[in-house]
Structure formats: C-alpha cells, structure tokens
Amino acid sequence: MTENKPERKPILYSGIQPTGDLNLGTYIGAVHNWLKIQDDYLSIYGIADLHALTVRRNPQEFRKTTWSLFAQYVACGLDPEKSILYFQSHVHQHAELSWILGCYTYIGELQRMTQYKDKSAQHSDNLNIGLLDYPVLMAADILLYQANVVPVGVDQKQHLELTRDIAIRFNNAYGDTFVVPEGNFGSLGDKKICSLQDPTKKMSKSDPNPDSIISIVETPDQIMKKIRRAVTDSEAVVEYREDKPGVSNLLEIFSAMSGRGIDDLVKEYHTAGYKTFKEAVGESIVEKMRPIREEYERLMQDKNHLIDLASQGAERAAYLAEKTLAKVKRKIGLTDLKKK
Ligand code: TYM
C-alpha cells in the first residue's frame, strides 16, 4: 500500500575542509544556504578531513581545527538529529570508492581543473598525487550517498561537473548505479565572497593576511576592526557596481547577514559615507554571529558530547555509503564472500 509509505526526501550532500574556522566566505557561500534548505532534504554534511591532507599539517593543530569545525557546524544550526553530520575519515567507504572511480577518470580531465592548476602552482614543493586526485575523492563523497543536490560555492562548479561526468560514464557502462547530482549555488549564484584586503580575490582560509578574512567565531572587537580596515575606493558612494569590488563585497556580506536586499541597503546608505556604512556592516556581522559564537564556546567545553554526535553521524553515513559501495563492487565484478 503505497499511500502509507512515508515519502522519501531527496538527498543533499555537501562538505567543507577543516583547514580553519568557518569564515564569511564558507559561511555565506555554503552553510548559510545549507541552513535555508536543510529541512527539504535528507541532508548529509561531511567534514572533508581527507581532502585537507594534500597540504602538510601539524597533527595536533589539525585535530583541533577539525573538532572545532564540527562544533561550528552544530553551532550554526545544522541539526545532528535531523541531518547527518560526520567526518569523512570515519567512513572508510569514501577512500574505497575514490580508488574505484579513479579508474574511470582520465588524467587529462584532472589536469584541466582550475583548482589543481592554482594549487599546484602554490605548492610546487609538494606536488602530491592527492592534489590531482582531489576531485575524484569529492566525486566519491557525493556519489556514495546518491545525492540529488550539492549546495556549494561557484568555485566548486567544475568539480561538480566532473562528478556528473564520472557518474554518467559509470552508468553508461554498468546501467543505472549513481544518481547524477545537480549543483545549487544559493543566492550568491556565480559570485564569491571576496577578500577584505583584495576584493578581486576570493576570501580564502589559506590567505596569509589575517585582515583579509573574518572567522565566524571572532570577537566583536576583531570583527569591527577588520571591517573598518576593509579596502574600498575613494568615491564615497555606496553602490553595487563591478568597478567598486570592495563596496560591492561589503554589500553582499551585509545583505547575507541582515537578510535585507542589496537595493534596499544601497538606498539607505548611498550617501551616508563609508565610515557609517562600515559600522553598519560590522554590526550586522557581530549581531548575526553572537549566538553562534556563544553556542560554539559552549559546545567546545563538552568534547564527549561532540564525540557522541560525530559517532552517531558516522554510523548513519556508513550505513548509506555501504549500500552504494556494495552495489558498485557487484556491478564491476569484484567478488564477495556471501554463500549461495
Ligand atoms: P572548501 O572547504 O574550500 O569550501 C567550503 C565551501 O565554501 C564555499 N566557499 C565560498 N563560497 C563563496 N565565497 C567564498 N569566498 C568561498 N570560499 C569557500 C566553497 O565553494 C564550498 O562550497 N572541495 C570542497 C569540500 C568538499 C565537498 C565535497 C563539497 C569535499 N567533498 C563534496 C561538496 C561535496 C572544498 O574544498 O570546499
């Protein structure tokens, strides 16, 4: 009797590398959008700790940053009861599927990835296989859960296209195996949140200049200081224009933090002067982040609770992941040990 069957929600998958705190780029580009749609899906949010290994890390610091990001997920409002929150390295199926999918991906496809080209230029002293293979692991993350939708920032669009290509290639060879996922780029669309010091560049966790990024758990004082120092221009009018990247970036941030439209903000602050405008932008961030920071600090006091939540997440994730992995292994002709 189909009418009694609860309708299964479509699946959402996304993740973030634990290479620093959430900042306004990762928060507005990803988490903010996740929060808007998390209830419409069975939502699965990974901490992409295996992805973070392409760069050498101090093990103690890495562990701390990883737990800290997990606490930030929860503090932002991702719900560990409704959604699945877990660490990628706790579900071994990711690495296994990544190997298999790597055998269905061409080296040329990976060498063409813009992120690979940028990262390999930045890390020419440590040009490891992980840097090249990175998008295959990302494809494994997504395809393992049969995700229908993947909410990410536009910088991940190329990786998502490759994921779709791999899924289609595999399905054509072996019959329907993977759901072919769609991207969701949220209200930013094809825009990124930019560095406060160089608004033509994306705000990035790996930027060595601390004034260029704002972490969501920074103190109000630090946030206000960084916004006051943000690079603008000498025109002194608040307008959203391509030739005003600094002011336009602050408007994007202001809009996401306050929930107000950019036109509305431009109307109010058009001739207010940059000092007043920046104070208002800074305050909108402080207000939005205050409860998140307080909840984060509370969660960080109770490591055992975080361990319980992450264990529960890993168990639920592994159950779903194993279903797909077993299917893939069967399709490609790997043996199993089930007795007839
Ligand atoms: P990562 O950790 O670099 O970034 C996490 C998410 O934040 C978005 N983002 C931004 N959006 C707008 N403006 C910015 N300045 C900005 N900086 C970051 C990114 O687009 C991303 O959505 N490979 C991924 C992590 C990952 C993943 C996955 C994502 C691993 N497996 C599976 C989706 C599905 C990454 O490096 O994101």
Predicted TM-score of the model (pTM): 0.96
Domains of the chain by residue range: 11-191+303-332, 217-298
Count Cβ atoms within 10 A of the Cβ of residue 295 and give its class: 0-12 exposed, 13-18 middle, 19 or more buried.
middle
Return d(Cα 98, Cα 17) in angstroms, integer: 17
Q: How far does residue 76's CA lie from ligand 1's centre (Å)? A: 16
- Class of the CATH-defined domain 217-298: mainly alpha
pLDDT at 2 (0 to 100): 46
Per-residue confidence band for 1, with pLDDT thresholds at 50, 70 and 90:
very low
Instruction: For ligand 1, say whether the CB of 155 is within 6 Å of any of its atoms.
Output: yes
Instruction: For ligand 1, say whether the CB of 151 is within 6 Å of any of its atoms.
Output: no
Ligand 1 pocket test: pick from 50, 57, 115, 156 the residue with the most ligand atoms within 8 Å of its Cβ.
Answer: 156
* pLDDT tens track for 47-76: 999 999 999 999 999 999 999 999 999 999
Q: How far does residue 15's CA lie from ligand 1's centre (Å)? A: 7
Q: What is the CATH number of domain 11-191+303-332?
A: 3.40.50.620
Return d(Cα 186, Cα 154) in angstroms, integer: 9
Instruction: For ligand 1, say whether the CB of 43 is within 6 Å of any of its atoms.
Output: no
Instruction: For ligand 1, say whether the CB of 13 is within 6 Å of any of its atoms.
Output: yes
Residue nearest to atom 11 of ligand 1 (CA): 29
Number of Cα atoms under 13 Å in the Cβ half of residue 178: 29
Q: What is the DSSP letter of 284?
A: H
146 contacts 178 by C-beta, under 8 angstroms: yes
CB within 8 Å of 25: residues ≥ 6 apart: 153, 192, 193, 202, 203, 204, 205, 213
Instruction: For ligand 1, say whether the CB of 26 is within 6 Å of any of its atoms.
Output: yes
* pLDDT tens track for 245-293: 999 999 999 999 999 999 999 999 999 999 999 999 999 999 999 999 9
> Which atom belonging to ligand 1 lies closest to the Cα atom of 194?
15
